[in-house]
């Protein structure tokens, strides 16, 4: 099963404006359209509870949204069988469960703690990163303060507007001798 992490970031690597998670619609219209399309096409989407709490969303029809949380009781009334579930599983357990269930792809959309945990578990196959031509100076990163050493290989890049917003796709290089 392919695991894809998807984020939008400034050129200085920030995913939140000045560290304020409540300022979240700062990306271009083109990025927002792209993200909505990816969201709608994904049969399986994973996010953390902090991301869900901030902007509760519903999955598209015929998709499953899994919210990772350590507090399952808090979300008992928000479960929608077959559409929204809450789990305290590790990234490896999530991956194994859905791989065994026949899913071919899993989209990890946030937040930083969840993305980092999937990278740390060596479960990420691709990183899809929109680069917005902005610099915030301060703000959150899509990877949290954890020692990681992830090598990436550019697969594609697309300029989507005149300002220079780039949608990039990288594969995770599992064998570091394959980096050229």
Residue 67: asked if its preceding bond is cis (omega within 30°), the reply is no
Rounded CA-CA distance 14/95 in Å is 27
Rounded CA-CA distance 83/95 in Å is 17
Q: What confidence tens digit (pLDDT) does each residue in 101-127 have?
A: 999 999 999 889 999 999 999 999 999
Tokens of 7: 């984020």
Judged by average pLDDT, the poorest of 18-32, 105-119, 131-145 is 18-32
Tokens of 147: 């020692």
Residue 12 phi, psi dihedral angles, 5° rounding: -95, 20
Residue 6 phi, psi dihedral angles, 5° rounding: -130, 130
Separate counts of helices (H) and strands (E) for the chain: 4, 8
Residue at token pair 């594969």: 171
Q: Please, are residues 39 and 109 in contact by the beta-carbon 8 Å criterion?
A: yes
pLDDT in the model for residue 146: 87
**In the predicted structure, residue 164 carries a pLDDT above the cut 80:** yes
Q: How does residue 61 score in pLDDT terms, banded at 50, 70 and 90?
A: confident
Choose among 124, 176, 145: nearest CA to 7. 124
């Amino acid at each position: 099963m392919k695991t894809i992490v998807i984020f939008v970031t400034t050129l200085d690597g920030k995913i939140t404006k000045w560290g304020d998670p409540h300022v979240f619609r700062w990306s271009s219209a083109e990025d927002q359209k792209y993200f909505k399309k990816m969201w709608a096409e994904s049969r399986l989407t994973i996010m953390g509870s902090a991301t869900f709490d901030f902007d509760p969303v519903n999955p598209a029809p015929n998709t499953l949204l899994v919210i990772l949380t350590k507090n399952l009781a808090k979300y008992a009334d928000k479960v929608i069988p077959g559409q929204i579930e809450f789990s305290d599983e590790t990234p490896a357990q999530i991956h194994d469960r859905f791989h065994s269930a026949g899913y071919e792809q899993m989209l990890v959309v946030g937040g930083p703690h969840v993305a980092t945990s999937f990278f740390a578990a060596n479960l990420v196959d691709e990183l899809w990163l929109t680069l917005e031509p902005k610099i915030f100076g301060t703000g959150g990163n899509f990877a949290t303060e954890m020692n990681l050493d992830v090598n990436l290989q550019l697969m594609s890049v697309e300029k989507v507007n005149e300002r220079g917003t780039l949608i990039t796709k990288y594969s995770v290089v599992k064998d570091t001798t394959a980096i050229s």
